[in-house]
A and B are shown apart, each in its own frame.
Chain A
Amino acid sequence: MASGIESAAEPASIESANAPHPASKLLEPARGYPGALIVVEGIDGSGKSTQLYLLKRWLEIGGYRLHFTEWNSSPLVKSATRRGKQRRLLTPTTFSLLHAADFADRCERQIMPLLHSGYLVLADRYVYTAFARDVARNCSPRWLRNLYRFAPVPDITFYFRAPLDVAVNRIMSGRPKLKYYEAGMDLNLSLDRSESFRIFQGRILAQYNEMIESDKFVVMDGTLPVNKLQKEMRQFVKSRIDLSRFAPKKASRSARSPQ
């Protein structure tokens, strides 16, 4: 296996070993759908979105049936989230619930129907973002695991790991003005916004690292050159998912795996 990929295990339940809940067993991937779900996760600045974009371009150019979805993209609860953030009304619990409602809308109206109709779904951030970020905000892991029980388990979860300094520097150089919640200012970690952001991202990073084994993350080294990393990502996808399932139906005889 290429050097950037450190772990490659079977996809398993979103339930993690350290969050036992009597009701937690429902997410076992008894996949009743022909689609597949590929997820990228990692802290801000880890390079995940760039890599998923390149993966998407590769598949699009090959003519594959795919859909791209982002965390935080549903118009449904956007106004509530915006209002809550502007007026700083959000607590760790309501912050978490609003994002869960947003995800539920996307899940019920996009992700699940597309998986059932045989699409390859690419998700830029998934429930692990909520697990990492909301636990960093002191929400109970058990409560969170229950909250997202309705989410389908991904076929592959790529976790882009980059050292905190590298990731934070990437963000700070491109986006000098950090937002209140984004910087974790609600947690009173520091009065300085960039310092608060750094501490908050550090906490999130620790939570991601906790999930590597329990949630079968495929760890990618976010410090490698972009094209090298992308090559590894494509190889891994090919090795794990039969892409011919997603080739255009009429042209399926001539469809080839993209190079």
Chain B
Amino acid sequence: MKASQKTRKNGREKAILSHAGASPRNYGLPLPGVHDEEYGGSLIVIEGMDGSGRSTQISLLTEWLESEGFAVETMGLRRSGLVAKDIDALLAENTITRMTLTLMYATDFYDQLEHRIIPALRSDFVVLADRYFYTLVARAAARGIERDYLLGLYEMALRPDLTFWLNVRPEAAFEREFRKSHTISYWESGRDLCLSDDLFQSFIMYQAKIKKEFESLSELHGFLAMDGEASVATVNTELRKRIAAHLGIQRTHYRPSAALASLWR
């Protein structure tokens, strides 16, 4: 594992993030009506494309953290009470335009931030985020929306304590996804961008674009990039080592319970 924390000198994005008023916990602006920077807890983000093993790792980490006595809350994209269903409906049609979709996802994100993450952090939970706004920035940027617009949009987002990026080759992700569900989603293969008529080609080209966006986000935000193609156990061990250090857990030995044993390949 290697942390990519190179600083960027010319980044326009950087300017946005260094506003006066930026706190260690947000990207420049506090949320209106949210008055405290005093909440505890930890926000841990796992990023990576479909097929990178995110959800497997989150299931395992949840069990491990609970066995260590930490209360865990999770979040993910399109899981808000406010607009998740509406986004599902919009994605099912193909009349949605990129800016509208970007803003619906932003609504979904902030609804979860305000109604789920912040209350959990106030109660000293560990929040495991199955993707964060970085994916939303990468997807929208891949569709031609300016990056500084997007970073401005998420200026009130909380800064995670740790962000892991499970890096896999698109080809490997395609294989894993296909094995799992025997198909590849229209959106995950970026079909709306008309990159190729061939589903596989389209997926590879689209994920390569996303990966490029992630590389610059990684520099900007100091992601901990990990080899997502390593075995589940190897990735999990690395994740636990990092998280244990952050949470002050001494012993990181863990064996999944019978319920999760099938994930431990």
Chain B contact residues: over half helix, strand or loop, or mixed?
helix
A100:B114 contact, CB within 8 angstroms: no
Other-chain contact of A143, B95, B103, B155 (Cβ < 8 Å): B155
B interface, how many residues as a size bin? 20 to 34
Q: List 26 A-B contacts (CB under 8 A).
A: A21-B152, A22-B12, A22-B16, A23-B16, A23-B146, A23-B148, A23-B149, A26-B149, A76-B90, A77-B83, A77-B86, A77-B100, A80-B86, A84-B82, A91-B31, A92-B32, A93-B32, A94-B111, A97-B106, A98-B83, A101-B103, A104-B103, A108-B98, A108-B99, A108-B100, A142-B152
Interface residues of B (CB under 8 A from A): 12, 15-16, 29, 31-33, 81-83, 86, 90, 95-100, 102-104, 106-107, 110-111, 114-115, 146, 148-149, 152-153, 155-156
Give min CB distance, B149 to chain A, whole Å. Answer: 6
Q: For residue A26, which residues in chain B have a CB less than 8 angstroms away from its CB?
A: 146, 149
B115:A89 contact, CB within 8 angstroms: yes
A150 at the interface (CB under 8 A from B): yes
B86:A79 contact, CB within 8 angstroms: yes
Knowing A104-B100, A138-B33, say if A93 contacts B152 (CB, 8 Å).
Answer: no
- Told that A77-B100, A91-B111, A104-B99 touch, could you supply 11 new A-B pairs with CB distance under 8 A? A22-B16, A23-B12, A79-B86, A83-B82, A89-B82, A91-B114, A94-B114, A101-B103, A105-B97, A139-B32, A150-B99
A93:B86 contact, CB within 8 angstroms: no
Other-chain contact of B111, A89, A142, A143, A146 (Cβ < 8 Å): A89
Give min CB distance, B214 to chain A, whole Å. Answer: 21
C-alpha gap A136/B215 in the complex (Å) = 38
C-alpha gap A80/B107 in the complex (Å) = 10
